[in-house]
Homo-oligomer: A and B are copies of this chain.
């Protein structure tokens, strides 16, 4: 396994050592408060008997699995609690490849960089398929790309980096195509709580043995460091995911799972609505300033990323470093997300200084 330092660490390090004030819009780390109940639960956990500090069930604390199943409307047997959504994706993708049903993964371009990394780790080959101009699913392109070699189609909605919320009918059609080609569709819904469009529908509504849904609490509870995610899998694949999870990690972290379970019990709809509203305000402030500056940009239907394009300033690492040094704003080069957004730069709205950042960009490109 070759190790390529992830570009996003490289940008963050560059920004951290810059000789000026830099507004960090690189990572996907929420900067807002987790639910108070999460802090309380962690304090409570710290006082429990030693037995509570030992291995939880490998597939997750039973009460957490039940809470997830309840919220997602599935049977607890279908839920495997994982070390973040990252591990859930890894387990589901591994399942796709181990079935002797092809070695090719269809990834949608622009692509979240961990997906091609995982495909390579698992010995698969990737095939990048373009999305529509607006970031939506291009069914014709997917249909054309699929063959008996296809083992996996990876779908992420709401999407990082485009902010697209996929049409549920299009996702259902991708699953139908996958059934025909004996492929699995893994739908990563980690941004499901950040639907600004009102049009997001979980792929759990699609009844198919070829569909696995992944998700987690890193973004929705603002705790990327806690490492609590999950896969929801049809019975056909549940044993495989459980076995690999156990052999790789034994089990996930009990303190995190305990805290997340209690936070879920106590967290009302209002918490998630407040996060969405906070982001919505930042999106408005950021895109208004970009608009005033005459830049091209996306207004996300979901998630918390905005893509922006500036004239004669492609989304290369060199240009991102120039923006850090000369404008005091750090984003992610579009070239790190496949080929489809090489002209663009991604900005994560995980800072209260979003408007100020856009104004800096406007002044710089004036």
Contacts and interface: CB of A to CB of B under 8 A. Distances in A.
A272 to B, nearest CB: 16
A54 B30 contact: yes
B53 A32 contact: no
A251 interface: yes
Interface in A25-58: 27, 29-34, 39-40, 42-43, 45-47, 50-56, 58
B249 A83 contact: yes
A167 B51 CA distance: 34
Interface residues of A, number: 63
Q: Which of A43, A55, A252, A259 has its CB near the most chain B CB atoms (within 10 A)?
A: A55
Contact of A46 (B9, B33, B39, B94): B39
B98 A1 contact: yes
Given A39-B47, A50-B222, A227-B249, A240 B1 contact: yes
A261 interface: no
The copy count of this chain in the complex is 2
A262 B239 CA distance: 37
Given A29-B54, A39-B47, A46-B43, A252 B227 contact: yes
A193 to B, nearest CB: 16
A94 B1 CA distance: 9
Contact of A243 (B4, B58, B98, B251): B4
Interface stretch (A15-23, A114-122, A337-345, A357-365): A114-122
A47 B50 CA distance: 22
Interface string A100-129: 000000000000001001100100000000
Q: Which of A4, A29, A42, A56 has its CB near the most chain B CB atoms (within 10 A)?
A: A42
A240 to B, nearest CB: 4
A114 B252 contact: no
21 contacts: A1-B95, A1-B98, A3-B240, A29-B55, A32-B50, A42-B46, A50-B222, A53-B222, A54-B223, A55-B225, A83-B250, A83-B252, A86-B249, A87-B250, A90-B247, A118-B247, A227-B251, A227-B252, A227-B254, A255-B256, A256-B256
Which 10 pairs across A and B sit closest by C-beta, in order of nearness?
A225-B254, A3-B239, A3-B243, A29-B54, A253-B253, A86-B250, A42-B46, A1-B240, A227-B253, A1-B243
